[in-house]
């Protein structure tokens, strides 16, 4: 009896945590050409009062990084040849950021 009660409590706690998170896609593109920026670094930090660790991610071939968010996060992008960008991601709301290149082809 006691074991089944503990099991039910664990299942309820786990599912409430999992269902509280939503997939959010961030797409990085070149501001001039509109081309996706592959393999850019993206750092996400929880916004107070939420607590936890910051996470690092990287965009894929299509310039997309996917996050599982339960609360808003502040993101900072980094990639050689582009100015860094800082923005906020909200759970379940996809975002496209247009990064400004620091070098222009003439």
Q: Which residue has the tokens 């980094």?
A: 78
Burial 42-53 (b: 16+ CB within 10 A, else e): bbbebeeeeeee
Q: Which residues contact 19 (CB under 8 A, 6 or more apart)?
A: none
The label of the residue with tokens 């074991």 reads 3
In this prediction, residue 3 carries a pLDDT of 53
Give the pLDDT score at 17: 46
Listed in order, strand segments (DSSP E) in 1-106 are: 22-30, 41-46, 55-58, 64-69, 73-78, 86-89, 95-99
Q: What pTM was computed for the model?
A: 0.76
pLDDT at 105: 66
Under 8 Å between Cβ of 77 and 44: no
- The pLDDT profile of the chain, 106 residues, written as one tens digit per residue, is 665 555 555 555 444 444 578 999 999 999 999 999 999 999 999 988 877 788 899 999 999 999 999 999 999 999 999 999 999 999 999 999 999 999 766 6
Contact 72, 89 (CB under 8 A): yes
pLDDT at res. 2: 64
pLDDT at 50: 77
């Amino acid at each position: 009896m006691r074991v089944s009660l503990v099991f039910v409590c664990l299942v309820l706690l786990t599912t409430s945590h999992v269902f509280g998170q939503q997939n959010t896609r961030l797409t990085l593109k070149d501001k001039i050409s509109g081309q996706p920026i592959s393999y850019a670094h993206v750092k996400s930090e929880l916004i107070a009062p939420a607590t936890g660790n910051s996470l690092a991610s990287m965009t894929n071939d299509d310039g997309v990084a996917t996050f599982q968010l339960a609360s808003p996060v502040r993101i900072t992008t980094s990639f050689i040849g582009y100015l860094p960008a800082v923005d906020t991601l909200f759970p379940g709301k996809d975002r496209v950021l247009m990064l400004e290149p620091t070098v222009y082809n003439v």
